[in-house]
Amino acid sequence: MRAIEFTETKCPRTRAKECSCSKVKSITEAEQTTVAQCMLEHSDTVKGTILLMQAPGTPTLIRGTITGLEPGLHGFHIHEFGDMSEGCKSMGGHYNPDGVDHGDIEKGHVGDLGNVLADESGVAEFSITAKRVDLLGERSVIGRGLVIHEDEDDLGKGGDAESLKTGNAGERLACGVIVTRAEEIKEAHGGEHSTTGRSMTKSEKGKREKIVKGMKKDKAGFKKRYGKDAEAVMYATATKQAMK
């Protein structure tokens, strides 16, 4: 699979007829950024949209918004399984391929992402650079779970056994499975790939465009939350809703 990237170039006035105003650069799959997403669910009040991105040889960037939280800090972790058969409790413990004690994002479990801070309205907006989290290779977290917890994670400093296991972060409020998102999903003229493992029907693609059209009424809000990734988040979210 190859993707096409269009980059704008300026045409010299003296060669306007001969010069193409765009050049096409072919990018191999190895050079592309891997993008995944997670929709936090299984809660009547807590919801979230998380985007994960990694280019080869770089840390994983995790950006998202979670709503419906109590103000304050909440533990946030990648869990071992992407199993939601029994809600969040079937996702197992923190992802810990190295068999170490719970801690902070630098030296604890690979799945230890620390805390996210909810403001007075219960909204947590965050950007996390996770050096030990991979979307590529044998230790990829794609297919595993993401969980937001009721309490603050003590980062393994609580002085008891549970602190070294879970950070005393409390109940699992909401969770979701980390899934890949095909690059075509963000193209306005309609890629057919989805996070469900099947192609979209014509009806679903039409429904997705209507959902995105509605989202674009708050384009400034999406841009504020996700920056250059705003459109990708719109299409990833709309695709999931359209294919329910």
Domains (ranges, CATH) in the chain? 2-31 (no CATH), 34-179 (2.60.40.200), 182-242 (no CATH)
pLDDT of residue 13: 41
Task: Please check the confidence at residue 125 and state whether its pLDDT lies above 50.
Answer: yes
Confidence of residue 56 (pLDDT cuts 50, 70, 90): confident
pLDDT of residue 23: 35
HSE at residue 167, side-chain half, CA atoms within 13 A, is 28
Q: Which residues contact 215 (CB under 8 A, 6 or more apart)?
A: 222, 234, 237, 238
Measure the CA–CA gap between 51 and 6, rounded to whole angstroms. 23
Measure the CA–CA gap between 62 and 186, rounded to whole angstroms. 18
- Of the residues 42, 63, 74, 109, which is catalytic? 109
Alpha helix segments (H runs only) across the chain? 202-215, 219-226, 230-242
Neighbours of 149 (CB within 10 A): 24
Task: Please check the confidence at residue 203 and state whether its pLDDT lies above 50.
Answer: yes
Neighbours of 114 (CB within 10 A): 20
pLDDT of residue 196: 40
Kindly state the average pLDDT of the residues 126-136: 95
- Of the residues 63, 94, 144, 208, which is catalytic? 94
Tell me: the pLDDT tens digits for 64-120? 999 999 999 999 999 999 988 899 999 999 999 999 999 999 999 999 999 999 999
Task: Please check the confidence at residue 10 and state whether its pLDDT lies above 80.
Answer: no
In this prediction the pTM is 0.66
Q: Does residue 102 carry a catalytic annotation?
A: yes
Measure the CA–CA gap between 181 and 35, rounded to whole angstroms. 6
79 vs 31, more confident:
79
pLDDT of residue 57: 85
Q: Does residue 193 carry a catalytic annotation?
A: no
Confidence of residue 159 (pLDDT cuts 50, 70, 90): very high
Kindly state the average pLDDT of the residues 133-147: 92
Tell me: the pLDDT tens digits for 174-188? 999 999 865 334 433
pLDDT of residue 24: 36
Strand segments, DSSP code E, in the chain are 2-8, 22-28, 34-40, 47-54, 60-67, 72-79, 85-88, 112-118, 124-130, 145-149, 172-177, 179-180
Residue 42 amino acid letter: H
Q: Does residue 172 carry a catalytic annotation?
A: yes
First CA to last CA across the chain, in angstroms? 27
Measure the CA–CA gap between 101 and 46, rounded to whole angstroms. 28
Percent of the chain with pLDDT over 70: 72
Kindly state the average pLDDT of the residues 40-53: 94
- Of the residues 144, 149, 181, 208, which is catalytic? 149
Confidence of residue 228 (pLDDT cuts 50, 70, 90): low
Task: Please check the confidence at residue 189 and state whether its pLDDT lies above 70.
Answer: no
Task: Please check the confidence at residue 242 and state whether its pLDDT lies above 80.
Answer: no
Give the closest residue to 47 by CA, choosing from 29, 69, 24, 63. Answer: 69
14 vs 171, more confident:
171
Q: Does residue 74 carry a catalytic annotation?
A: no
Q: Which residues of 168-196 are buried (b: 16+ CB within 10 A; e: fewer)?
A: bbeebbbbbbbbbbbbebbeeeebebbbe
Measure the CA–CA gap between 88 and 112, rounded to whole angstroms. 16
Angle at alpha carbon of residue 77, lines to 150 and 136, rounded to 5°: 160
- Of the residues 63, 112, 154, 208, which is catalytic? 112
- Of the residues 102, 144, 181, 208, which is catalytic? 102
Tell me: the pLDDT tens digits for 18-28? 333 333 333 34
Residue 105 amino acid letter: I
Q: Report yes or no: 41 and 52 within 8 Å, Cβ to Cβ.
A: no
* 187-193 contact pairs (CB < 8 A, 24+): 187/235, 188/212, 188/231
- Of the residues 63, 74, 77, 208, which is catalytic? 77
- Of the residues 42, 74, 172, 181, which is catalytic? 172
CA dihedral sign of residues 73, 132, 59, 35: negative
